[in-house]
Amino acid sequence: MTTDDNLLEVADLRVSFPGRRRRAPRTEVLKGVSLHVRPGEALGLVGGSGSGKTTIGRAVLGLVPVAAGTITFAGERVERATPRRRRQLSKDIQVVFQDPYTSLNPSLTIGDTLAEPLLAQGVPAADARRRIGGLLDRVRLPSDAAGRLPREFSGGQRQRVAIARALAIDPRLIVCDEPVSALDLTTQQTVLDLFLEIQERTGVSYLFISHDLAVVRYISHRVAVIDQGTIVETGDTAEVTERPQHPYTRRLMLAAPVADVAEQRARREAFTTT
């Protein structure tokens, strides 16, 4: 797979952070990670706490320094882009964070929140206001939501606002960092279906980060499994989730909740005997 075939390509990415004590050695969080996302594709990146999955997303967004390796977006090397270039890239690369409340300014109305990215890209204020109704409609929120504050909405509705904000300037890639983990199961389903609907309609690509392999299986075309800063398994979603090869992937599958007790028992027997 060449760079020209991919929207995003991460090659041999290494990220390290200073030790907690003054002279402690740096801790390598990412140890030569490589992955790619094709146009219109959802790549699920799954791993447990401390695996490095969120750090990959933050590196793509330019929020953490890269020690080595490359990040290529639409054929352009971006791992050492200047702050000015990063602001320009925000038109094509957006993010939806985990917490739908803290990711929104509580003092801004929903309309002002959605107008911000448009105004930052030079869209005239009158045009920005006109586009807000369309954004709310895309995420199935009422038009009167524009004049209300985040605290007036449920968690699932706030996450829809966050998605609408990410969509405001028609990005080509959205980094989704645990976007449903703070929601109850019913609301998770609604938001995941919304992500699928938006991708089908717009062709946007997702780097979908989660600790939950069941969520990743639902949303993704392909899956990459990360453990301790290293990609341990990658492949088509059905291949990875139905026939996991790496022991860590199997543990993630066993940890994914299943409502049916008999199905959970059968899955455990299948994964522990292969």
- pLDDT per residue as tens, the chain (274 positions): 445 689 999 999 999 998 777 777 889 999 999 999 999 999 999 999 999 999 999 999 999 999 999 999 999 999 999 999 998 999 999 999 988 778 889 999 999 999 999 998 889 999 998 999 999 999 999 989 999 999 999 999 999 999 999 999 999 999 999 999 989 888 999 999 999 999 999 999 999 999 999 999 999 999 999 999 999 999 999 999 999 999 999 999 887 655 444 554 555 555 555 5
Which pLDDT does position 274 carry in this prediction?
53
Helix (H, G, I), strand (E, B) or coil at 29: strand
Which pLDDT does position 100 carry in this prediction?
75
CA–CA dist 269, 97 (Å, integer): 36
Please name every residue paired with 205 in a beta bridge, in sequence order, or none if there are none: 173
Domain count, the chain: 1
Which pLDDT does position 271 carry in this prediction?
52
Q: Please give the C-alpha separations between residue 124 and each of 37, 128, 216, 232, 242, in angstroms, as whole numbers.
A: 33, 6, 38, 47, 50
Both tokens assigned to 106:
């509580």
CA–CA dist 26, 204 (Å, integer): 36
Range of the domain at 215: 3-92+171-235
Instruction: Record the pTM.
Output: 0.89
Which pLDDT does position 253 carry in this prediction?
85
Both tokens assigned to 110:
């929903």
**CATH code of the domain covering residue 27:** 3.40.50.300
CA–CA dist 53, 187 (Å, integer): 23
Exposure of 2 in the CB half-sphere (CA atoms within 13 A): 1
141 in a domain, yes or no? no
Both tokens assigned to 132:
């807000």
193 in a domain, yes or no? yes
129 in a domain, yes or no? no
Q: 186 Cβ partners below 8 Å, 6+ apart?
A: none
36 in a domain, yes or no? yes
218 in a domain, yes or no? yes
134 in a domain, yes or no? no
| Alpha helices by DSSP H, the chain | 53-60, 83-89, 110-120, 125-138, 155-167, 185-202, 213-219, 237-242, 247-255, 261-273
Render pLDDT for 129-175 as a digit per residue (tens, 0 to 9). Answer: 899 999 999 999 998 999 999 999 999 999 999 999 999 999 999 99
Please name every residue paired with 43 in a beta bridge, in sequence order, or none if there are none: 207, 222
104 in a domain, yes or no? no
Which pLDDT does position 270 carry in this prediction?
52
Query: With b meaning 16 or more CB within 10 Å and e meaning fewer, what string describes 192-209?
Result: bebbeebbeeeebbbbbb
Fill in the DSSP letter of residue 26. Answer: P
Backbone angles phi, psi at 68, to 5 degrees: -160, 165
Contact 241, 223 (CB under 8 A): yes
Contact 198, 21 (CB under 8 A): no
143 in a domain, yes or no? no
**Residue showing tokens 């990063």:** 86
